[in-house]
Structure 1
Amino acid sequence: MNASVPFDSHGQVLIVGGGLVGASLAIALDAAGCRATLVEAAAPRTDAQPSYDERNLALARATVNGLDAIGVWPLAAAQATPIRHIHVSRAGEFGSARLDAAHHGVDALGWTLPARELGAALLRRLDTCTQLTRIAPASLTGLTRYEHGWRAEIQTQQGPRHIDAALLVGADGTESFVRAQLGIQADIHDYRQTLFVCTLTPERDPANRAWERFSDDGPIAMLPLAERRCGLVLTVAAAAAAEVGAMDDTDFIALAQRRFGWRLGRLQRPGKRHPYAIRRVAAQRLIASRAVLVGNAAQTVHPIGAQGFNLGLRDALTLAELVAEAADPGSTRLLEQYAARREPDRAGTMAMSHDLVRFACMPQPWLAPLRSLALLAYDRVPPLQRALARRGMGFRGQPPRAVLERLP
Structure 2
Amino acid sequence: METDRQLDTDIVVAGGGLAGATLALALARAIPSLRITVVEAFPLSADAGTESYQPSYDARSTALAWGSRLIFEELGLWGALARHATPIRHIHVSDRGRFGATRLNAAEHNQDALGYVVDNRWLGLSLMSALQTCDQVTWRAPAHVQGVSNVAGGVSVQVAEGDTARELRAQCVVIADGGRSGLREQLGFRVDTSRYGQQALIANVSTACSHEFTAYERFTDAGPMALLPHGGSDRPGYDSALVWTLADEALEQILAASDDERCQRLQQRFGWRLGRFTRIGQCHHYPLTLTTVDEVVRPGIVLIGNAAHTLHPVAGQGFNLALRGIMALVEQLQQARAQGENLGSLQALRAYQENHRQDWQNTVRFSDSLIQVFGLDFPAMKVARDAGLVGLDLLPGAKRWFARSAMGLGGRRPRFDTPLKESADD
**What is the CA deviation profile of residues 333-370 of structure 1, one whole-angstrom value per residue up to 9, with x for unaligned ones?**
21111111111111111111112111112222221111
Residue number in structure 1 paired with 2:375: 361
Comparing 173-182 and 388-397, the one that deviates more: 173-182
Residue number in structure 1 paired with 2:424: none
Residue number in structure 2 paired with 1:138: 143
Q: CA deviation at 1:405?
A: 10
Does the 8 A contact of 1:168 with 1:291 survive in 2? Answer: yes
Does the 8 A contact of 1:45 with 1:123 survive in 2? Answer: no
Does the 8 A contact of 2:243 with 2:313 survive in 1? Answer: no
**What is the CA deviation profile of residues 360-385 of structure 1, one whole-angstrom value per residue up to 9, with x for unaligned ones?**
12222221111011111111100111
Comparing 154-163 and 368-377, the one that deviates more: 154-163
Q: CA deviation at 1:41?
A: 0.6
1:313 and 2:323 aligned? yes
**What is the CA deviation profile of residues 92-129 of structure 1, one whole-angstrom value per residue up to 9, with x for unaligned ones?**
21111110101011111001112122112122122221
Amino acid in the other structure paired with 1:44: L
Comparing 318-327 and 103-112, the one that deviates more: 318-327
Residue number in structure 2 paired with 1:395: 409
Change in Cα spacing, 1:101 to 1:271, as seen in structure 2 (3 Å) is same
Secondary structure of the 2:315 match is coil
Q: CA deviation at 1:188?
A: 0.8
| Structure 2: runs of 5 or more not aligned | 1-5, 49-57, 232-236, 422-426
Determine the C-alpha separation between the residues in 1 that align with 2:45 and 2:296: 29
Amino acid in the other structure paired with 2:262: F
Secondary structure of the 2:336 match is coil
1:189 and 2:203 aligned? no
Amino acid in the other structure paired with 1:374: G
Selected match of 1:209 from 206, 214, 232? 214
1:97 and 2:102 aligned? yes
Determine the C-alpha separation between the residues in 1 that align with 2:218 and 2:46: 31
Does the 8 A contact of 1:37 with 1:134 survive in 2? Answer: yes
Residue number in structure 2 paired with 1:15: 13
Residue number in structure 2 paired with 1:337: 351
Determine the C-alpha separation between the residues in 2 that align with 1:134 and 1:314: 24
Q: 1:5-404 counterparts in 2 under 5 A?
A: 9-10=7-8, 12-32=10-30, 33=32, 34-45=34-45, 54-157=59-162, 159-226=164-231, 227-327=237-337, 328-401=342-415
Q: CA deviation at 1:310?
A: 0.6
Amino acid in the other structure paired with 1:171: A
How many residue pairs get aligned? The number is: 395
| Structure 1: runs of 5 or more not aligned | 1-7
Determine the C-alpha separation between the residues in 2 that align with 1:242 and 1:97: 32
Q: CA deviation at 1:177?
A: 2.6
Determine the C-alpha separation between the residues in 2 that align with 1:61 and 1:87: 17
**What is the CA deviation profile of residues 241-289 of structure 1, one whole-angstrom value per residue up to 9, with x for unaligned ones?**
2221121101110111111110111111211111122111111311111
Determine the C-alpha separation between the residues in 2 that align with 1:100 and 1:39: 41
Comparing 309-318 and 328-337, the one that deviates more: 328-337
**What is the CA deviation profile of residues 209-263 of structure 1, one whole-angstrom value per residue up to 9, with x for unaligned ones?**
1100001211111111124311111110123222211211011101111111101
Determine the C-alpha separation between the residues in 1 that align with 2:86 and 2:134: 27
Does the 8 A contact of 1:15 with 1:26 survive in 2? Answer: yes
**TM-score of the aligned structures, taking structure 2 as reference length:** 0.88
Secondary structure of the 1:304 match is helix
User: Structure 1 vs Structure 2: percent identity of aligned residues?
Assistant: 37
Determine the C-alpha separation between the residues in 2 that align with 1:29 and 1:286: 19
Amino acid in the other structure paired with 1:268: T
Does the 8 A contact of 2:208 with 2:238 survive in 1? Answer: no
Determine the C-alpha separation between the residues in 2 that align with 1:275 and 1:397: 30
Does the 8 A contact of 1:46 with 1:119 survive in 2? Answer: no
